[in-house]
Amino acid sequence: MNAIISAPELANELAGANPPVLLDVRWQLSTAAAAGAAPFDGRAEYTAGHLPGAVFVDLDRELASAPGGRGRHPLPDVEEFGAAMRRAGVSSGRPVVVYDGGQGWAAARAWWLLRWTGHPNVRVLDGGLPAWEAPLSTDVPVPAEGDFAPEPGALGATGPAGMLDADGAAALARSGLLLDARAGERYRGEVEPIDRVGGHIPGAVSAPTTDNVAADGRFLPAEELRARFKGLGAGEDGEVGVYCGSGVSGAHEVLALAVAGIPAALYVGSWSEWSSDPGRPVAMGPDPQ
């Protein structure tokens, strides 16, 4: 199963006998609120226009639990997540397509969570809302209750359903390949606009997820992604893990790896969890160590 779907392919499937459930997960990482600016309002964007039949999903409230010691976007309570997905019409026997405003990070977070909890058929709209050329809708659907029952780890401990904790990420940085999906300047510790300290997990390799897409927000071709990740050290049999700031852009990199055919696990707590513990080591500069 492909991890992404193009807008023309999605239009064809929506007109078919078993159309996918559509989830709109518009969200943006923004530091503007710290300066007093109004935060991005994904629900307002959804209300102004969305793919016909799509249901809005709130990343901060339904795809994460409250920020704290486990990071800014820790895993949601599994039962609450399942209830939110059922309200959105998600069932195990029906495909799901997720999209966001174009960056792809929020959609990838929903994709990863649904995969981690056992949904067998989830894809992300490549390029997000800007790739959709048909008319939008302002009608807010009330879908029939779905039957999705989340089973964490049901699809295995590795691959796009895999998850790492802090100790697992530290170990993988030594034994396999741990990729840091944040911007290079945050990896190097030159700037840190959000978390307690800058830098990276010792042994992690810098791999900004923004380099996985073209200027239009669509993923690079699979062969180009495969070449990129192999150049970073992803071998045929070695384990690969990804982290970011809080488990959102890292999910996007896991998605890019899936497009390339490379299984990878996500450290959900990511740098926001790691850096909050003064006992965890921090590496600075361009060198992984």
Active site residues: 244
Alpha helices, H only, 38-137: 42-48, 59-62, 78-87, 105-116
Token pair 């030159």 is found at: 190
Residue 286 CA to residue 68 CA, distance in Å, equals: 29
Single-letter amino acid, residue 220: L
Tell me the C-alpha to C-alpha distance, in Å, between residue 91 and each of 3, 81, 84, 88, 107.
18, 13, 12, 9, 18
Q: Which of 179, 184, 281, 188 is nearest to 238 (CA)?
A: 179
Handedness of CA 272, 275, 280, 284 (dihedral sign): positive
